[in-house]
Chain A
């Protein structure tokens, strides 16, 4: 298995531009998570999907952030317009929900490092 695939790995953009981050979860996993990592705040959960449906988006910082999961193998996190304080590493993670050994354990992608100038 190729694991969780994220793109781009690095993005540098100017304030006000739209940013789209992409994620392909592990095949067969039914839960997908977007996290943001910064030095100040550590790992923060932004949004959680189960079976492609957004279940909890309470961690999304503001309306400039949106996330979609059109099918089981693809999700996007969009920031529009971007601001310098959005600079961070954004991680996508997936898991298989269940009551068996190994269930509900997150597998992370390599992350997308975003710099907004």
Chain B
């Protein structure tokens, strides 16, 4: 099956700093999704990317769908304490959410 490598596994940053995390795959995907999971909650969708090369922003978050369709990155600018959580990338090949592959997550800690 498809495998996603998500890095880094964890990050400790100072409030106000920018953050970057990425996912790479050995296979191509048609859709890339980025989710955030707060402690004790389920993952919540942050950004969905549907086209190779697509760059999409959602507030302080920016994500890109790699041109090779095998990678994606997520940037968070000017981090704040509520950015703490686990960020998951997910790649989808077909037209069904059943064909979703999740990365292992990036645990983000923002220090005041």
A residues at B contact (CB < 8 Å): 4, 31, 33, 42-43, 45, 48, 50, 55-56, 91, 93, 95, 97, 99, 101-111
Contact residues of B: prevailing secondary structure: mixed
Assess A104 versus B102: contact at CB under 8 Å? Given A109-B42, A111-B41: no
B residues at A contact (CB < 8 Å): 31, 33, 35, 40-45, 48, 50, 88, 92, 95-98, 100, 102-105
Contacts of A99 in B (CB 8 A): 95
10 further contact pairs, Cβ within 8 A, besides A31-B96, A105-B33: A4-B42, A42-B102, A43-B88, A91-B42, A93-B97, A97-B96, A106-B100, A108-B42, A108-B43, A110-B42
- Can you list 17 pairs linking A and B with CB atoms under 8 Å apart? A33-B98, A42-B103, A43-B102, A45-B98, A50-B98, A93-B42, A102-B48, A104-B96, A105-B45, A106-B43, A106-B100, A108-B35, A108-B42, A108-B44, A109-B42, A111-B41, A111-B42
Give Cα A95 to B33, complex, Å. 14
B49 to chain A, nearest CB (A): 11
Contacts of A45 in B (CB 8 A): 98, 100
Contacts of B41 in A (CB 8 A): 110-111
Give Cα A44 to B40, complex, Å. 17
Is A31 touching B95 in the complex (CB atoms < 8 A)? no
B92, B97, B100, B102: which has the most chain A beta carbons within 10 Å? B97
